[in-house]
Amino acid sequence: MKRKFCLIAVVIAGSVAAGLSYYVNSGSKADAHIISSYVPDKTYGNAGIGTEKSSGELLEKPLKKPSENSHDISREEEQSDKTEEKINISECSIIVDDVEYSGEFTEPSIKVMHGGTALKCGTDYEIEFDGKTDRGAGKYYFTVTMTDKYEGSIEKSYNVIPQRVSFSSVNTRVSDFELNWTASENVDGYEIEISPNSDMTEQETLVIEGGDNTSYTKTKLPWNSTYYVRIRNYVYDENGTEKIYSLWGDIETVSTKQVEVIDGVTYIDGTLIVNKTYSVPEYYGSGLDEDALGAFTEMADQASADGIYLYIVSGFRSYWTQYSTYNYFCSERGISQADRVSARPGHSEHQTGLSMDINSTSFSFEDTPEAQWLDENCWRYGFIIRYPRGKEEITGYAYEPWHIRYVGRELAEELYNSGLTLEEYFGITSRYDY
């Protein structure tokens, strides 16, 4: 055993000596790397020497000597790589939401995106607003400047839109409707859409210049038709060329009046209409309407309790009775004056059984307590003063404080509170065409 151990030791020692002798004799530092590159294999131990499995196998070629400037070159390459990684703002998308005017400056929502990723303000970019103190509705600007691994800057704009406006009321008539709204502050005009469809398709667009406008009337519409309407306002930009719109207001449904002609008698939303434009047939009517008579009785009872005595001096009149009455006035005053105080046959409300002359047909009735009570209270029982003062050109007749017309309690109250006549309320005329 001692002989074998000695033999192995001699072989190893000889190999190391031969290697050192080669290094000394050659004088080549580069070749010396052959020795220094050897790392004993931890798995196979020294048994791995000279085998393919040995991680300590001798290199076949000498290694290059590292350059003295190798570390500097590496830093330059890293810096070069960093410069190449800079992303320009042109490769980013900027998303800006408009802001509704609120009376003070409100920052818009701004997002800077790159490759589907939202960048961070203060880290990846900075925002600077234009500094304007007047933050009314209009166009404003801001600058986005990229930082860190991003570069470049760009100026973008956003809109402060006017506050939304909606219709405050909608008044419908037979063949037109009136739209009303409250004027918006500091706007240049309004835009209205009118459509026969609830989704606002096939719409007509109306532009109303001037922020002080508060109403618009659409005329010459067919009876029994329904429309959908909405409104928005706008301001012009600083150049006066681009309109900046508010959001649309609520969609309103508006219908022209429901008009029916039954056996020659015209009804608008269920209310029988007779005046100089609309007539009834010769043989229509046979006496006072039961509902009208009942309402008068109730009214007269209450008036009596208040110390007022009311009675009917003229109720139902047939076509031929009205014919005689009208001809009398024509003979006394002429056709022009007769048309102011008396209806032509077929055009009298008395023929409908819904109208009555109370107490007197003399103008002296106007100054009586009965006339005053009637004017202030008849609406409570479904009546209206049919031909009020100041509306002569609308009704077609002179003021008659004694002439009342039954229209039902709901409509009577609405007419009384609004001060409108039937012609104004329904949007109809009262003119003879012959």
User: Which positions are catalytic?
Assistant: 400
Q: Which tokens hold the place of 426?
A: 């329904």
At 230, give phi and psi (nearest 5°): -155, 165
At 331, give phi and psi (nearest 5°): -70, -30
Q: How far apart are CA 312 and CA 404, in angstroms?
A: 10
* Contact by Cβ (8 Å): 308, 299: no
At 285, give phi and psi (nearest 5°): 90, 150
Q: How far apart are CA 415 and CA 384, in angstroms?
A: 8
Residues whose CB is less than 8 angstroms from the CB of residue 362 and which lie 6 or more positions away in sequence, other chains included: none
Q: Which tokens hold the place of 400?
A: 């008659």
**406 pairs with which residues across the strands?**
383
* Contact by Cβ (8 Å): 191, 208: yes
In 3D space, the residue among 36, 144, 114, 98 whose CA is nearest the CA of residue 246 turns out to be: 98
- Scanning 204-281, the segments in alpha helix (DSSP H) are none
Q: How far apart are CA 124 and CA 118, in angstroms?
A: 10
